[in-house]
A = this chain, B = another copy of it.
Amino acid sequence: MRDIFHQELKQLGYDLESMAAQVATAMERASAALRDGDLIVAEQVIDADERINDLQRDIDDLCIMLLVRQQPVASDLRHVISALRMAQTLERQGDLARHVATIARGRYPGPPVPEPVMSHLLTMADHAVRAGQDVARLIATQDLELARRIQTADAEMDRLHRESFQMILDPANELSRQQVVDAVLMGRFLERFGDHSTSVARRVTYLVSGHHLGSHDRAPEEEDAQR
């Protein structure tokens, strides 16, 4: 019984890894679609989000089934509850990648916003891509040093996000209202993507270091930018 359970826990880990890898790919493509004004790639991201959503449903089902059938305790219980929450976070990240792709598609064939704001948003997108890749690796490796780096990198993302508002408000940068709208939303989506990566990093840290789940294993909301 316990052997089957641990096999199933392992399967849960693989599913999460696969989901995180798909989310990372979605953000890579969304970023490429922005950079190159590539309509096909933007469409791919939008279509692929359905599969990410399906994966979350699968992981949810597996977790509930494990809870019902195996009634895990202690660290096994922590793993199952964390998997439930990480899947929810990853699903949300998939949505945010889709939102970025939707903006890229909406302004095709031009870039959504002119320079230098565009370059700044692309830098944020690069950070999001790296965060997504790091999260996928973190789930596979459980490397706490990597978890720490993800958290540090998110502080930089928050700084870039604050800077984006300065650039958007700077009258020296010529922007139409549509461009202001798009820049604000893209900045927000990318910054939230980073917050969610940090959330996963924190969950893995608490799982691996054995910290109590209830009090600390929180949603990314704490890190949410204050504006």
Residues on A facing B (Cβ under 8 Å):
53, 56-57, 60-65, 67-68, 71, 73-74, 77, 81, 84-85, 88, 91-92, 95, 99, 102-103, 106, 165, 168-169, 171, 175, 177-178, 180-181, 184-185, 188, 213-215, 217-219, 221-222, 224, 226-227
Contacts and interface: CB of A to CB of B under 8 A. Distances in A.
A227 B100 CA distance: 9
Nearest to A106: B227
Contacts of A73: 68, 71
A222 B56 CA distance: 12
B184 A168 contact: no
Contacts of A171: 177
B99 A227 contact: yes
A183 to B, nearest CB: 9
Contacts of A92: 219, 221
Contacts of A218: 56-57, 60
Residue among A64, A74, A88 with the highest chain B CB neighbour number at 10 A: A64
A81 B67 contact: yes
Contacts of A180: 177, 180-181, 184
A227 B101 CA distance: 10
Nearest to A216: B57
Nearest to A173: B177
A181 B81 CA distance: 38
Given A60-B217, A184-B184, A214-B63, A224 B68 contact: no
A178 B219 CA distance: 30
B219 A91 contact: yes
A169 B165 contact: no
A202 to B, nearest CB: 14
